[in-house]
Structure 1
Amino acid sequence: MRNTNTPTSFKALQIITYALCIGVVMFLGVAFMLKHEELVLWPVKGQDTLLNIIALVMAVASVLLSNVLFQSLLSKIDTSLPISKKLPHYVTAYIVRFALTEGMGLFNVVVFLLSGCLINAMMAVAIILLMLAVKPNREKTIDDLKVYYPDTLD
């Protein structure tokens, strides 16, 4: 049974997570439709190879940086505050995390669109899967924010 008393900002965070993922998926789908006849696993041109490597390295670096920033922002949240004061900071931390990862997912789709290189498309898919894996859920949020009775997330 679904609880309908979840604070609006937590529901909004869940919706934002799915919307960001859907945006990357839609853009990747359009890119596939445009490049479906020119696909290669790895580009043969020198300039494209450099661009592909840069996109892949930036994607990995952004995932690592987003995790560091997320943990840093979480550590700054005063867990003694009520949930209504903690949740906006938590939402901000997640948005920072997802903005960095989604940005690199989109960048890899653009590089895929330019080069037709499947490696970049696979990196974009990996980023989408990562975003879905770390999406906010009630239990993790309660644990991260140290929510105790009588203060509840739902």
Structure 2
Amino acid sequence: MKEKFKTLQIIHLAICAGVIIVYLLLGRFSIDKLKIDAIDSSEIIYAAIPVLAFVLSNFLFKSQLKQIDPKAGLNDRLPVYQTASIIRWAILEGAAFMLLFLKPDFMILGILIIAYLVFLRPTEDRITSDFESSVL
């Protein structure tokens, strides 16, 4: 069982490391890049990307977890959890890349997405609490 948790943690680490490395290489960080000036109406969609990614990723994650049979054992539930987690992480990763490539002025929002992505690191406690909350 521990190796299945390790696999999920390695996948998470690879996704996080990939996004961070791309941001470091292509981000061209400076203090000016970390500021968001006044947002006009044509840029509002870029500000909405992190919110949409957060909502969509959590919605899809929870809907995948609701498909799990509560009576199934942990070995049967873990592959569905892994799939749901990868979907969630991929949406957040895509949103961070969209902000970096389409509108580098909003790089700080991409950094916030990355921070949230790192926060979602799978642990045994998080997985069991997610399973318990999906039954409710």
Q: Structure 2 length normalisation: TM-score?
A: 0.81
- 1:22 has 2:13 as partner: no
Supply the distance in 1 between the matched residues of 2:45 and 2:34 (Cα, whole angstroms). 17
Aligned to 2:75: 84
**5+ residue gaps in structure 2?**
none
Partner of 2:94: 103
Distance 2:26 2:96 in 1: 13
Aligned pair in 2 of structure 1 residues 10, 81: CA closer, same or farther (>3 Å)? same
Q: CA offset at residue 38 of structure 1? A: 7.9
Q: 1:41 aligns with which of 32, 35, 57?
A: 35
Say how many residue pairs are matched.
131
Quick check: 1:55–1:104 contact (8 Å CA) kept in 2?
no
CA contact (8 A) 1:31 1:112 kept: no
> For the structure 1 residues 79 and 19, does the alpha-carbon distance in structure 2 shift closer, same or farther, using more than 3 Å as the test?
same
Measure, in 2, the Cα distance between the counterparts of 1:22 and 1:95: 15
In the TM superposition, what whole-angstrom CA distance separates every residue of 1:65-108 from its partner, at most 9, and x where no partner exists? 11111111111111211222110000011011111111001111
Question: 2:124: which partner in 1?
Answer: 138
Unaligned residue ranges in structure 1 (runs of 5+): 147-154
More helix by share: 2
| Deviation, structure 1 residue 145 | 3.1
- Aligned residue type for 1:67: N
Rounded to whole Å, the distance in 1 between the matches of 2:102 and 2:34 is 13
